[in-house]
Amino acid sequence: MYKEYYNLTAMPFQLTPDRQFFYASREHNRALSHLVYGLAQEEGFIVITGEIGAGKTMLVERLWAELDDRKFATLRILTTQISDNDLLKMIGSGFGRPLDTGDKAYVLRQIEQLFAEKHTAGKRCLLIIDEVQNLALPALEELRMLSNITVGGRAPFQCLLLGQPQFRHLLADPRLEQLQQRILASYHLGPLRDDDTREYVLHRLKTAGWAGNPSFDDAAFAAIHRHTSGIPRRINTLCSRLLLAGYLDDRHHISGAMVDDVAEELHRDLAAGDPSPQPPDQQAEAGVGVEQRLATIERSVARHDRAIKRALELAVQLIEAAP
């Protein structure tokens, strides 16, 4: 709805990663440099960690677009709640050799042969594993074993591991010391700074055809950063709700106060149904500013009423326009 209202050519804050919206912040540029350096080593492991929603997947989307498919055979695994045997079979199948049957020794021989064939064709096998913190130690050890394979004195296989911060704690396990020694590049992707948050929002808007409508004041950008802690996915969620609220309230300017209201509404919606009791100190804190919270709720209810009214008006228009 708000796309047409603000004359945008696309939805600027969708949660699905789209590399055309990639914003090269300082953090993401550093992470990308580590990726490029790691790939240049032509062996071993590259590790990128970050909080949920920090932009790890978007980073890989950008990298994926720049890889030369004449030099790389790439495979991305998104499901990591799997055993070591299933992981090996997924790797073989993903690189073009179905391995639904056979014991582990057979599967490993087939993968080694597959790597050799790719190497002969001038390609390096690049495996990307997302949410790697969910892999069990035996599966990580199998990946380490694959990194031992060589063809003509060269490594035909390289692995990029993407995970949440706890993966770094997992790597500290003494049982993974050999895997640690094979990590040639590692970076932790932090949140956006306040100025990068502003530029991130503007970049996504401009990519979606934004021409200044709606406008944002400085306080709005400061509030967006404060409420999202500079995490890109949180920024997308909040800004999408902001534009929807602007459409429903017929606004063409986003203020800091509006960001606060919408962030409070979003927080309340996400927390709805949480039955966990609050500690006494939090209960006392919740009693502060009751009138302000009630006013926010009233505005939210009114906004929902307007949304229903607009939807009904649109439905009537469609019915009247029908032959």
pLDDT in tens, 44-69: 999 999 999 999 989 988 888 888 88
Query: Would you tell me how many other CB atoms lie within 10 Å of the CB of residue 54?
Result: 26
Residue 152 tokens, joined:
């003509």
Tell me whether residue 15 is in a domain.
no
Is the pLDDT at 208 greater than 80, yes or no? yes
Residues 168 and 201 in one domain: no
Select the more confidently predicted residue: 287 or 313: 313
Query: Which residue, of 189, 212, 247, is where some domain finishes?
Result: 189
Amino acid letter at 73?
A
Residues 155 and 232 in one domain: no
Residues 39 and 162 in one domain: yes
Residue 204 tokens, joined:
């996504």
**CATH code at position 68:** 3.40.50.300
Report the residue count for the chain.
323
The contacts of residue 285 (CB under 8 Å, 6+ apart) are none
Residues 216 and 297 in one domain: yes
pLDDT for 82: 86
Phi, psi for residue 129 in degrees, rounded to 5: -115, 120
Residues 77 and 150 in one domain: yes
Residues 76 and 218 in one domain: no
Residues 34 and 166 in one domain: yes
pLDDT for 284: 44
Q: Give the total number of structural domains in the chain.
A: 2
Tell me whether residue 7 is in a domain.
no
Tell me whether residue 155 is in a domain.
yes
Q: What span, in angstroms and rounded, lies between the C-alpha atoms of 68 and 306?
A: 50
Domain that includes residue 97, residue range: 26-189
Query: Would you tell me how many other CB atoms lie within 10 Å of the CB of residue 40?
Result: 9
Percent share of the chain, pLDDT over 70: 83
CB of 51 closer than 8 Å to CB of 229 = no
Query: Which residue, of 154, 174, 189, is where some domain finishes?
Result: 189
Amino acid letter at 260?
D
pLDDT for 300: 53
Cα angle at 274 between 273 and 277, to 5 degrees? 135
Residues 167 and 198 in one domain: no
Tell me whether residue 294 is in a domain.
yes
CB of 77 closer than 8 Å to CB of 189 = no
Is the pLDDT at 317 greater than 70, yes or no? no
Tell me whether residue 278 is in a domain.
yes
304: confidence class by pLDDT, cuts 50, 70, 90: low
Q: What pTM was computed for the model? A: 0.80
pLDDT tens digits for range 149-205:
999 899 999 999 999 999 999 999 999 999 999 999 999 999 999 999 999 999 999
Tell me whether residue 231 is in a domain.
yes
Per-chain mean pLDDT for the chain: 86
pLDDT tens digits for range 250-285:
999 999 999 999 999 888 877 654 544 445 454 444
310: confidence class by pLDDT, cuts 50, 70, 90: low
Residues 157 and 32 in one domain: yes
Residues 153 and 257 in one domain: no
Tell me whether residue 5 is in a domain.
no
Is the pLDDT at 220 greater than 70, yes or no? yes
Residues 199 and 151 in one domain: no
Residues 108 and 212 in one domain: no
Tell me whether residue 17 is in a domain.
no
